[in-house]
Amino acid sequence: MSIPIIIDTDPGQDDAIAIFLAIASPELNVIGLTTVAGNVPVRLTSLNARKICEVAGRPDIPVFAGAERPLLRHLVTAEEVHGRTGLDGPVLPDPQTPLQSEYAVDFIVRTLMDHPSGTVSLCTLGPLTNIGLALLREPRIASRIKQIVAMGGGYFEQGNITPAAEFNIFVDPHAARLVFECGTPITLIPLDCTHQALTTAKRVEAFRTMQNRCGPATAEMLDFFERFDENKYGTDGGPLHDPCVIAWLLQPTLFSGKLVNVSIECESELTMGATVVDWWHVTRRPRNATVIRSVDADGLFRLLAERISTLP
């Protein structure tokens, strides 16, 4: 029985590779993609999501456009990392499939209310605005979501867009606070984990030499995406963030972490969006998330190569 998931995303090259992995994995049933403003505005993340599904041979996966901006703060985007289109690197054909007319937040609520309680998992790869809005619109979904697996935050590795905050949480800290306080089981995959998943030249070559279109497209996305972080961190390759979310669902034993409290800074401009992790349980705050701190990077890239090689 495949696991029904909704992927909430702001593609983004790393989002795209996460979506490739999900599509290539029969263990998962991708009910739909919901897009959010993040790396680039939602018009572009919605276009990119459809491009990705179509190049992966799945034009049937519905894409629903979501929030154009965070709950309270102004939108911050990341074209310097992802390029003007948000998916710079390969030239991918414009999508033939139209966007769904239903608003992403309504789709999330409807899907969770229509499916048996505790069956649908949310995989979030961008700012949590859509999930926050869905919780505000229908609080009952909190007890119906099987789990939320989210890429975001950083604690031991601190931040990537500010010294204190990781991009997805920084863009919409108020939505993140709603999510981390809603009571749904959460697995958080922060920079502490994803910084171990480096797109080294050898790993990228494995995609480039595949005899399909998704493998070389993955390599071309990584060629573009990794340059910003290689320059920043001085490493061979850059961190591959979002695919860790899907890989955790598929092979959780590649990862390790522990159940702790995660609280979101929403007051101080200096540390806005910081994920404050009570790793040593020094407070009595509720243990609301399993925070993943390590990944078997070779195992992760073996899984990615194995699955993406099966795509068109």
Measure Cα distances from 107 to 30, 34, 63 in Å: 13, 8, 10
Q: Is 96 exposed, middle or buried (0-12, 13-18, 19+ CB in 10 A)?
A: exposed
Stretch that binds ligand RIB, among 84-92, 160-168, 198-206, 259-267 (CB under 6 A): 160-168
Please choose which of ligand RIB, Ca ion, none residue 229 contacts, taking the beta carbon within 5 to 8 angstroms, the exact cut-off set by kind. Answer: none
> How far apart are CB 167 and Ca ion at their closest, in Å?
8
Stretch that binds ligand RIB, among 19-27, 115-123, 138-146, 164-172 (CB under 6 A): 164-172
Q: Which is nearer to ligand RIB, 89 or 144 (CB)?
A: 89
Q: To the nearest 10°, the Cα dihedral for 236, 199, 273, 257?
A: -110
Q: Any contact of residue 10 with ligand RIB (CB under 6 A)?
A: yes
Q: Give me the sign of the Cα torsion angle 7, 11, 15, 19.
A: positive
Residue 100 identity: Q
Q: How many CB atoms lie within 10 A of CB 69?
A: 17
Residue 218 identity: T
Q: Any contact of residue 126 with Ca ion (CB under 5 A)?
A: yes
Contact 37, 45 (CB under 8 A): yes
Q: Which is nearer to ligand RIB, 14 or 220 (CB)?
A: 14
Q: Any contact of residue 301 with ligand RIB (CB under 6 A)?
A: no
User: Which residue among 8, 15, 54, 229 contacts Ca ion (CB under 5 A)?
Assistant: 15
> How far apart are CB 191 and ligand RIB at their closest, in Å?
7
Q: Is 82 a catalytic residue?
A: no
Binding mask 190-229 for Ca ion (x = CB under 5 A): ----------------------------------------
Q: Which residues pair with 5 in a beta bridge?
A: 30, 121
User: Which residue among 40, 151, 264, 277 contacts ligand RIB (CB under 6 A)?
Assistant: 151
**Residue environment code for 189-207, b if the CB has 16+ CB neighbours within 10 A, otherwise e:** bbbbbbbbbbbeeebbebb
Residues numbered 203 to 242 that lie near ligand RIB (CB under 6 A) are: 241-242
| Count of all residues that appear for the chain in the document | 312
Which distant-in-sequence residues (6+ apart) come within 8 Å of 74 by Cβ? none
Please choose which of Ca ion, ligand RIB, none residue 166 contacts, taking the beta carbon within 5 to 8 angstroms, the exact cut-off set by kind. Answer: ligand RIB
Q: Which is nearer to Ca ion, 15 or 54 (CB)?
A: 15
Which spans of this chain sit near ligand RIB (rule: CB under 6 A)?
10, 12, 14-15, 38-39, 125-126, 151, 160, 166-168, 241-242
Positions annotated as catalytic residues are: 241
